[in-house]
């Protein structure tokens, strides 16, 4: 996380709680827990103040060398969120939108306790969810050369599925930083969100794509599930080269054909449990008339039809009559995400250009979020 320190001119430099907060912040910077951006005038005050140890004063001297570079980072498009600490105010907290970024404006009291400045917790519904999002964050750094001096410092947390909202609230109650992503569980563009997602909003009906609370952020994945944003070529390779059934191979062929016709069906498809045509029709019946359209799935499944009202697999078979089986998607199983993580462990050369156009925007948004919440300055510093 990036901490920008302001208003040192109005600060009470005889207040030991302020000095303790500054010491903790600078140590967190040196330990590569977080990034600290401070005016040179503030760092000069620390360097000259014998309340601080030699180590802390050396950290401040080193931080002076990074001011220009880190100020450029905070102004860049690669940061979505950071914390601005007002050294003249002890208990302030406000969330503001500024230059297309979310700034958490805070007083310094929170940072008096060093245990409150540990690395950010990345919380997913499952531990593999959190690991996948961390991979996206590292991928974001790797594919933006301007970030080559930075790395991620974090801990991965298991949300326990339906208990994710409780885990998130408990993490914030323990005065920890937390970034959380949960699936929307939407099986149709116009269906309601799932119970895990709803738990974050209580009785509030106005759902948001993301929101901030204290030193935490929750993002609702605008897709059915995390498997929806596995790049399609990765999904295809896992199924085609694994111990997969004939129906699973056919599912990949059908999805590929639909994607070639600009289908976004993967955003709402239940990858783990699959989808049958009669289930798709029922979803359209329940939700398809909300916008007075002909039905989302009927439109998408029609992309499998070629000539003579036959699906693309049987277009040349005169005697074949297409039925629901031609328009169904087989379950890909509960191990799909863990197999995806194994794929990336064994494929270090996967690049941004390899990601399909439906998936890439999700990776860009999540990658920027993860970087913003977990970034540290990954350069060796001698400050003893």
Is residue 381 in some structural domain? no
Whether residue 157 sits in one domain with residue 129 = yes
Q: Share the mean pLDDT of the chain.
A: 92
Instruction: Look at residues 220, 159, 215, 146 and name the one whose alpha carbon lies nearest to residue 1.
Output: 215
Nearest alpha-carbon partner for 127 in 148, 103, 154, 100: 154
| Residue 214 pLDDT level (bands cut at 50, 70, 90) | confident
Same domain, 56 and 112: yes
Distances (CA, A) of 73 to 97, 203, 316: 17, 39, 57
Count of domains for the chain: 3
Contact status, residue 157 vs residue 121, Cβ threshold 8 Å = yes
Q: What is the mean pLDDT of residues 311-338?
A: 84
Q: Report whether pLDDT(319) > 90.
A: no
Domain ranges, residue 19: 2-117
Nearest alpha-carbon partner for 78 in 181, 150, 154, 153? 150
Helix axis angle, 232-241 relative to 246-260, nearest 10°?
160
Across the range 201-212, mean pLDDT stands at: 66
% of the chain at pLDDT higher than 70:
95
Query: Is residue 59's pLDDT more than 70?
Result: yes
- 27 part of a folded domain: yes
Q: How confident is the model at residue 203 (pLDDT cuts 50, 70, 90)?
A: very low
pLDDT for residue 316: 65
Q: Are residues 288 and 207 in the same domain?
A: no
Per-residue pLDDT for 198 more than 90? Answer: no
Residue 205, pLDDT > 90, answer no
- pTM, full prediction: 0.93
Pair (101, 8) in one structural domain? yes
Asked if residue 144 is part of any domain, the answer here is yes
- Considering the domain architecture, whether residues 15 and 34 belong to the same structural domain is answered as yes
pLDDT beyond 80 at 289: no
pLDDT at 323: 85
**Residue 143 belongs to a domain:** yes
- Residue 382 domain flag: no
pLDDT tens for 67-122 read 999 999 999 999 999 999 999 999 999 999 998 999 999 999 999 988 889 999 99
In a domain, 270, yes or no: no
Tokens representing 200 are 């974050």
250-236-135 Cα angle (round to 5): 150
Residues β-bridged to residue 210: 219
β-partners of residue 83 are 3, 104
54 lies in a domain?
A: yes
Predicted pLDDT of residue 171 = 93
Please check whether residues 6 and 91 belong to one and the same domain: yes
Strand segments, DSSP code E, in the chain are 2-6, 35-37, 81-86, 93-98, 101-107, 120-124, 150-152, 154-158, 178-183, 210-213, 216-221, 375-377
Q: How confident is the model at residue 249 (pLDDT cuts 50, 70, 90)?
A: very high
The residues near 180 (Cβ < 8 Å, ≥ 6 apart) are 122, 123, 124, 159, 164, 168, 216, 217, 218, 219
- Residue 332 has what DSSP assignment? -
In a domain, 43, yes or no: yes
Whether residues 59 and 142 fall in one domain: no
- Say yes or no: 103 and 41 in one domain: yes
**Spatial distance between the Cα atoms of 21 and 92, rounded to a whole number of angstroms:** 14
* 289 in the same domain as 207: no
Band (281; pLDDT cuts 50, 70, 90):
very high
For residues 132 and 211, membership in a common domain is answered with yes
Q: How confident is the model at residue 207 (pLDDT cuts 50, 70, 90)?
A: low
Look at the alpha carbons of 155, 107, 377, 143 in this order and tell me if their dihedral is positive or negative.
positive
């Amino acid at each position: 996380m990036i901490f920008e320190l302001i208003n040192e001119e109005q600060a009470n430099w005889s207040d030991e709680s302020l000095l303790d907060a500054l010491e903790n912040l600078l140590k967190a910077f040196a330990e590569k827990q977080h990034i600290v951006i401070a005016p040179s005038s503030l760092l000069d005050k620390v360097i000259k103040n014998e309340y601080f140890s030699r180590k802390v004063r050396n950290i401040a001297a080193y931080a002076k060398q990074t001011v220009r570079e880190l100020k450029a980072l905070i102004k860049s498009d690669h940061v979505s969120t950071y914390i601005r600490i007002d050294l003249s105010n002890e208990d302030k907290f406000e969330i503001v939108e500024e230059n297309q970024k979310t700034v958490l404006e805070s007083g310094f009291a929170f940072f008096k306790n060093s245990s409150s400045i540990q690395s950010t917790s990345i919380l997913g519904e499952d531990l593999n969810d959190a690991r996948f999002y961390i991979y996206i964050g590292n991928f974001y750094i790797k594919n933006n050369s301007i970030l080559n001096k930075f790395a991620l410092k974090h801990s991965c947390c298991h949300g326990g599925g339906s208990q994710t909202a409780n885990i998130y609230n408990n993490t914030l109650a323990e005065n920890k930083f937390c970034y959380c992503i949960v699936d929307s569980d939407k099986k149709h563009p116009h269906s309601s969100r799932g119970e895990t997602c709803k738990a974050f909003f209580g009785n509030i009906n106005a759902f948001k794509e993301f929101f901030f609370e204290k030193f935490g952020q929750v993002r609702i994945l605008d897709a059915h599930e995390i498997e929806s944003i596995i790049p399609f070529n990765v999904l295809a390779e896992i199924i085609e080269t694994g111990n997969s059934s004939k129906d699973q191979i056919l599912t990949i062929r059908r999805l590929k054909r639909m994607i070639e016709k600009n289908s976004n069906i993967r955003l709402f498809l239940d990858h783990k449990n699959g989808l049958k045509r009669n289930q798709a029709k029922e979803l359209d019946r329940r939700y398809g008339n909300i916008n007075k359209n002909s039905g989302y799935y009927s439109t998408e499944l029609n992309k499998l039809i070629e000539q003579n009202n036959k699906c693309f697999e049987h277009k040349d078979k005169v005697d074949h009559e297409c039925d629901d089986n031609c328009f169904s998607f087989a379950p890909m199983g509960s191990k799909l995400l863990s197999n995806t993580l194994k794929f990336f462990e064994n494929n270090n050369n996967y690049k941004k250009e390899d990601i399909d156009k439906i998936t890439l925007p999700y990776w860009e948004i999540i990658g920027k979020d993860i970087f913003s919440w977990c970034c540290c300055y990954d350069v060796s510093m001698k400050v003893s």
